[in-house]
Amino acid sequence: MVFTSEEFLLFFLPLLFLIYFAVPAKLLQVRNAVLLAFSIVFYAWGGVRYLALFVLSLAVNYFGGLAVGLFKNRTLKKLSLVLTLAVGLGLLGVFKYAGFFTGMLESAGMIDRAVSFALPIGISFYTFQGLSYVIDVYRGDAACQKNPLAVCLYVALFPQLVAGPIVRYTDVERELVCRTHSFGDFSDGAVRFMLGFGKKMLMANPMGEVADKVFSLTGTSLLTSPAAWVGAAAYAFQIYFDFSAYSDMAIGIGKMFGFKFNENFNYPYISASVTEFWRRWHISLSTWFRDYVYISLGGNRCSAGRHIFNLSVVWFLTGMWHGASWNFILWGVYYGVLLILEKYVFAGLMKKIPKPLSHLLTMLIVLVGWVFFRAETLGDAVIYLSAMFAGSPDFREAEYLVRQYLPELVLCFIGIFPVKRLIGSFFEKRGDRAVWVVTGEVFGKVFAAAVFVLSYAKLVSGSFNPFIYFRF
Amino acid sequence: MNRIRKISSVLMTAVFVTALCAAMLIFIFSKKDDVSYYENRSLADLPEFTWDGALDGSLFEELGSYVKDHAPARDGFLAATTWTDINVLRRPVVNDIYLGDGVLLPYFPHEEIDTVEIAEKAADAADRFYERVRLAESFGGEYYFVAMPCQYTCYADKYPSYLNNRDEYLTAARDAFLGELAERGVTTLDAGELYGTMGRPDYFTSTVDHHFGIMGAYETYKAMLSLHMEKTGDVLDVLEEDEFEVESLPNKYVGSRLRKIFGMWESDEKLGIIVPKDDVPYTRYNNGYNVASTVVTLPESEEDDVLYTAYMGGDIAHTVIDTGRDELPTVLIYGESFTNAIETFAWHGFNEMHSLDLRYAEEGAYEALIEEVKPDIVICIRDYSVLLETEGYGH
């Protein structure tokens, strides 16, 4: 199920509100059970057959965590961790990467036929989330959770289940057993949800239409240079507003039920370097790799050579995590190389470049990266990039797209900047902070409600509603 | 400040939860429509439960479509979105309709023209058609093929330079296909060329619908019968201009293009009908059943919208107009909805007029009808856009 669907808005959410809040607040375990039951329905909506794998994954994490936490013997502890990691990553490997690797073997003539499975929704997210719990228990950062309901709810909690943000166990450990609910939190969550809903419906989806249209022209004479640039820019807008909208909605829903998830995006398109971009983009994934892979490998407290190796491994894995194809691997390696270059080659130069120029350069790099990310194959990505930089200058398609989607393009352009923050600091500078807080309090809610109504109109009037991050 | 936050939070919570719960109740208790008028399609039915569907998720997908199609206030929101797109956001294309200067035109993505592929497709399509020609001729009938210009073909110059008017593709497709038919000895009529030679192609078509207007239908009819008379030397009873009156229906004409944008565009175009002065009695059969003797279905009142389906009562698999005058020839007109407007008066000079809509008729209906009726004249009417198609309307 997706948040931006009628069945979610008209049935799932209101029924959950009615049942969840009908349970007295002191019976938190019952409320948790309600949340878990709804989360399982939410997941099963994509097909009940995928539930078995999901339940297996939950069981592996629960028993893995239990074993790691309860064994006093260091070797047994480690063995339990390795086993849990092997099963968790093994399941991810089989369901996500079997087709890719056996496909390569098939191409090399080493096997007769490639083996592949349907990709279970959200497997990359819930696998990483579950493993982080077991690793945290092993490291002693979190206590072993004996209550299976709490572990299952942590992994299965529907707001972040299928598309993140990847919530760390330590962040919600306390809330799973003791959390408060208030009108303030619920209202803030509702506002966040409605604004995320609007981002998805009013910004990401229209940009997705543009990107899909242009990328579908790859390999034809219709993919002109202006159209390719418009398509790449539209995709950059789409992926940001789509993914961050999902995170907004997840954070918002979490808040309505008393959970406080960390932010996943921080205006990445205002970055002036690739390093900064990755500090602002998909923060929960970056920090996951930082804490569980990069630091485990030795981080940056080592020789330059070893550091470069560590970065290379992390970015290779980041690419792989996004998908089982060469495009994603290359996309990860592309960023790995750029980050290494920024750190070891261009560090001095970057300080001298004027900020607007370094910002433009960063955006150009990001745009090129998105082409690898969006193209169906590596060959398509090369064709697309060729069209961008050396294609026909025919403006007709681009002109149509810009005229047709001008309101959304303008909205997206404004949306990449921290407008609310800027307005707030404007009032603060004038000494009108109180005015801004009050206005923001009331106006923000009215604005969110208006956006929600417009988005609902868009939802019922359109059939174009894919969620990009569901494929990961 | 805390007080304001508290009050606004309680209000926000109440409004949000109440709105969602109210929408759920409205959905559950509201009457569900079967058809969406403006979208011109059936709405999704409530799916039946199957374990297979639940396992692979298709059941929930169908349930999702059902909820989507019957969402509360869906029509109102669809109309509001269309209105906003036209009047506030001023998009050039709304619901796939380009709002041109005095005309509504369909939007087409830019396309690559492959003349070799067009030639191959034209030869294949002509081969398929030729089988029907031979069958009609084997029973003594004369076969004619009429290629109709699409509405947008007549307004090709109304498209801005950044949109595709399909002129290049349609010209290539039409030339190739009619050329192939001519090579096989089939007599053809290009109504687009006819309208062009008459000076004002736009006069014969509609600004709000994808079909031609009544005068376009009339000129096509006249040219069709002239073609037969020239070819065979037969004399047909052609309805001349002084033998009928053109009546404009007072109702708002909501053509297919106007319907897609919820009628939100100023148009003074009226649906015209041809009323012969000479009253010829006839009996009408729809799919074998005797029905009222009428060829134009008028709306109940002048306030109601009128659609192109007023002609012949819309699309019907097999229609017969029998005037009981055995001395006159029998004609079969087949194709799709373009035949409807012509049929409202074409029956006038024939003993029997059969009309076959291949989209609704069963497979083999054409062949069975030719063998049974042995029509003297067979006329196929297709528009340019489907000449080379083998699927859907082109089939």
Number of domains, chain A: 2
- Closest by Cβ to A458, choosing from B20, B81, B110: B81
Helix axes B338-346, B214-232, angle to 10 degrees: 70
Helix/strand/coil for A266? coil
Task: With CB atoms and an 8 Å threshold, state whether B91 touches A15.
Answer: no
Region of A298 on the Ramachandran plot (φ > 0 left; ψ -120 to 50 alpha; else beta):
left
- Closest by Cβ to B55, choosing from A9, A48, A400: A48
Enumerate the β-bridge partners of residue B322.
B283, B352
Contact A255, A153 (CB under 8 A): no
B227 CA to chain A: closest CA distance, Å? 42
Closest CA to A85 of A126, A131, A151: A131
Task: With CB atoms and an 8 Å threshold, state whether B9 touches A188.
Answer: yes
**Cβ-Cβ contacts under 8 Å, B24 against chain A:** 10-11, 14-15
**Cβ-Cβ contacts under 8 Å, A395 against chain B:** 162
Task: With CB atoms and an 8 Å threshold, state whether A404 touches B17.
Answer: no
**Closest chain B residue to A43 measured between Cα atoms?**
B57
Mutate to test the interface with A, among B6, B83, B162 (most CBs of A within 10 A): B162
Q: Domain residues of chain B, as ranges?
A: 1-29, 31-72, 115-386
Q: Which residues of A57-90 are buried (b: 16+ CB within 10 A; e: fewer)?
A: bbebbbbbbbbbbebeeeeebeebbebbbebbee
Task: With CB atoms and an 8 Å threshold, state whether B162 touches A221.
Answer: no
Task: Answer whether B17 touches A (CB < 8 Å).
Answer: yes
- Closest by Cβ to A438, choosing from B4, B74, B82: B4
What stretch of H or E contains A344? helix A326-344
Q: Are residues A278 and A394 in the same domain?
A: yes
* Other Cβ atoms closer than 10 A to B200: 10
What stretch of H or E contains A383? helix A378-390
Task: With CB atoms and an 8 Å threshold, state whether A45 touches B60.
Answer: yes
pLDDT digits (tens, 9 = 90+) for A209-252: 999 999 999 999 999 999 999 999 999 999 999 999 999 999 99
Task: With CB atoms and an 8 Å threshold, state whether A395 touches B162.
Answer: yes
Q: Are residues A167 and A213 in the same domain?
A: no
Q: Are residues A63 and A140 in the same domain?
A: yes
Return the percent helix, strand and coil in chain B, to nearest 5.
45, 20, 35
User: Is A1 inside any structural domain?
Assistant: no
Burial of A184 (C-beta count, 10 Å sphere; 0-12/13-18/19+) = middle
Q: Are residues A390 and A303 in the same domain?
A: yes
Model confidence at A383: pLDDT above 70: yes
Q: Which two tokens stand for residue B196?
A: 């062009």
ipTM, 2 dp: 0.87
A283 CA to chain B: closest CA distance, Å? 29
Q: Which residues of A246-276 are buried (b: 16+ CB within 10 A; e: fewer)?
A: bbbbbbbbbbbbbbebeebbebbbebbbbbb
B49 CA to chain A: closest CA distance, Å? 13
Measure Cα distances from A25 to A145, A258, B13, B34 in Å.
Answer: 22, 11, 17, 44
Q: Are residues A381 and A411 in the same domain?
A: yes
- Does residue A165 have a cis bond before it (omega within 30 degrees)? yes
Task: With CB atoms and an 8 Å threshold, state whether A438 touches B1.
Answer: yes
**Cβ-Cβ contacts under 8 Å, A449 against chain B:** 12, 15-16
From A121, A148, A179, the end of a domain falls on A179
Q: Are residues A149 and A11 in the same domain?
A: yes
From A155, A179, A203, the end of a domain falls on A179
Gap between the terminal Cα atoms of chain A: 15
Q: Are residues A164 and A286 in the same domain?
A: no
Q: Are residues A279 and A421 in the same domain?
A: yes
Closest CA to A411 of B348, B89, B49, B276: B89
Q: Are residues A249 and A146 in the same domain?
A: no
Q: Which residues of B285-314 are buried (b: 16+ CB within 10 A; e: fewer)?
A: bbeeeeeeeebbeebeeeeeebbbebbbbe
Q: Are residues A171 and A241 in the same domain?
A: no
Task: Answer whether B114 touches A (CB < 8 Å).
Answer: no
User: Is A385 inside any structural domain?
Assistant: yes
Check A181, A282, A307, A322 and give the catalytic one: A322
B95 CA to chain A: closest CA distance, Å? 10
Q: How many residues does chain A have?
A: 472
User: Is A52 inside any structural domain?
Assistant: yes
Contact B273, B296 (CB under 8 A): yes
Cα–Cα distance, B11 to A448 (Å, whole number)? 13
Residue with tokens 């399982």: A40
Task: With CB atoms and an 8 Å threshold, state whether B17 touches A45.
Answer: no
B350 CA to chain A: closest CA distance, Å? 48
What is A184-220 written as a DSSP string? HHHHHHHHHHHHHHHIIIIIIHHHHHHHHHHHTTTTS
User: Is A33 inside any structural domain?
Assistant: yes
Q: Give, for all 395 residues of chain B, the pLDDT tens digit.
A: 678 888 999 999 999 999 999 999 999 998 888 887 777 778 888 899 898 888 888 898 899 889 988 888 888 888 899 999 999 999 999 989 999 989 999 999 999 999 999 999 999 999 988 999 999 999 999 999 999 998 999 899 999 999 999 999 999 999 999 999 999 999 999 999 998 888 777 778 899 998 888 999 999 999 999 999 999 999 999 999 899 999 999 999 998 889 888 889 989 899 999 888 888 999 999 999 999 999 999 899 989 999 998 999 988 899 999 999 999 999 999 988 889 999 999 999 999 999 998 888 888 899 999 999 999 999 999 999 888 987 655 45
Query: What single-letter DSSP state applies at residue B384?
Result: G
From A179, A210, A225, the end of a domain falls on A179
Let me know if A322 is a catalytic residue.
yes
Please give the residue range of the domain that contains residue A13.
Answer: 6-179
Residue type, B144: Y
Q: Are residues A230 and A107 in the same domain?
A: no
B167 CA to chain A: closest CA distance, Å? 16
Measure Cα distances from A255 to A133, A159, B259 in Å.
Answer: 21, 10, 44
Q: Are residues A267 and A248 in the same domain?
A: yes
Task: With CB atoms and an 8 Å threshold, state whether B162 touches A407.
Answer: no
Cα–Cα distance, A228 to A219 (Å, whole number)? 12
- Closest by Cβ to A47, choosing from B56, B82, B89: B56
Burial of B342 (C-beta count, 10 Å sphere; 0-12/13-18/19+) = buried
Task: With CB atoms and an 8 Å threshold, state whether A6 touches B71.
Answer: yes
User: Is A224 inside any structural domain?
Assistant: yes
Model confidence at A47: pLDDT above 90: no
Cα–Cα distance, B293 to A328 (Å, whole number)? 68
